[in-house]
Amino acid sequence: MADVFLDESFDRRKLEQVENLQIALHKQQAVLYQRYEAGELGPEGYVESFNALLNATFVNCENILGQENFLKLFGTPRSELAGFIDK
């Protein structure tokens, strides 16, 4: 996707950082789900934790890519991605 939306010459170091953030997001989401399944988090706690995690990931991605490239890669401004799961 990055090559299509950002160009093949885009800084590979930045793309690797974004990829690492996305991998970490998936791992942390799995931990949240395990905590939910174990009864350590209720539904609202899970949603709030996931949304906070997702928002932090998007903030970090935007910091790495810059606003314009974030928009190109993700297709929408970061501000519109907050609250991914609506309670």
Tokens of 1: 């996707």
Q: CA dist 15 to 36, 44, 51, Å? A: 31, 33, 23
Q: Residue 15: what are its φ and ψ, rounded to 5°? A: -65, -40
Tokens 């939910």 correspond to 36
List the pLDDT tens digit at each of the 87 positions of the chain: 788 889 888 999 999 999 999 999 999 999 999 999 999 999 999 999 999 999 999 999 999 999 999 999 999 998 888 666 765
Nearest CA to 72 out of 28, 13, 18 is that of 18
